Amino acid sequence: MKSFAFVTGTSSGIGLALTRQLLGRGWRVAGLSRRISPIDHSEYKHLQLDLADLDGLARELPPFLEPLVAEQVWGTIALVNNAAAPGGFGGVEAISPGEIQHALAVDCQAPIWLMGLVSRLTPDGTRLRIVNISSGAAQGGYPGLSLYGASKAGLRIAGQSLAAEWDSAERPGGKRPGTAILSYEPGVVDTEIQTYARTRPKSEFPWVQIFRDFEAQGRLVSPERVTGPIIAFLEDPRVHGWREERYSG
């Protein structure tokens, strides 16, 4: 049976690299990003939409995604919450309400809603895999990363909660076998978020030097190198429940 994946942030970075690799492995993929995707493949469908627009997401995504999920009986249906909001780097004392709203919408609120949507659309008996791209910033406080860390921490807990709900006999419909969620920390990846962070003026982002050092010290890893654990998780029929993993090279 073929497998289907819905991936956010497919116009660049990890989302683009992962989508190309999944297509090469015979998956059918639907992607979403705020920009046009460079992917041109018969097994790829794209929706151009900003995750910060929660009303637009709720209005436009179901009619886009539902026919694709119902297209055939899939062996596996997967969601990869990869997209991340640019910006939001700076101290808590300087954050504006608009920055808070935008970062939480893209990095936390929309992905949580997507987990629920894809779970509802996936038929019972079909393997369901969810991957939430996380960060070390979700595990503890780092100067200048309050919004990013808080958003990723919120998504991490929501994923744990969904996995616990699937395993609960009190869940409407009972326990749901064949489901698994991975919170994945890819490490220091050469993406547009890294570029944005290291090009901020010090007056705006006082802790910018650590991101400049990542590049200067050659510590950045290409998106293509970090996708292996994601693919292994998506294609493993044995995994179940909640998982956490960090890219180790």
pLDDT digits (tens, 9 = 90+) for 23-49: 999 999 999 999 999 999 999 999 999
Distance between CA atoms of residues 110 and 105, nearest Å: 6
| Diameter over CA atoms, the chain | 54
Q: What is the mean pLDDT of each run of 10 residues along the chain (249 residues)?
A: 97 97 98 95 97 97 98 97 87 93 96 98 96 94 93 97 98 96 96 90 92 94 97 97 94
Q: Which CATH architecture has domain 3-187+223-246?
A: 3-Layer(aba) Sandwich (3.40)
The two tokens of residue 224 are: 């293509």
Q: Pick left, alpha or beta for residue 87 (phi over 0 → left; psi -120 to 50 → alpha; otherwise beta).
A: left
Pull the structure tokens for residue 158. Answer: 């929501």
Q: Which of 25, 29, 125 is nearest to 82 (CA)?
A: 29
What are the domain boundaries of the chain?
3-187+223-246
Mean pLDDT of all residues in the chain? 95
- The whole-number pLDDT of residue 86 equals 77
Q: CA 165, CA 67: separation in Å to the nearest integer?
A: 26
First to last CA, the chain: 31
CA 237 to chain centre: 21
pLDDT digits (tens, 9 = 90+) for 178-197: 999 999 999 999 998 899 88
Q: Quote the pTM value.
A: 0.96
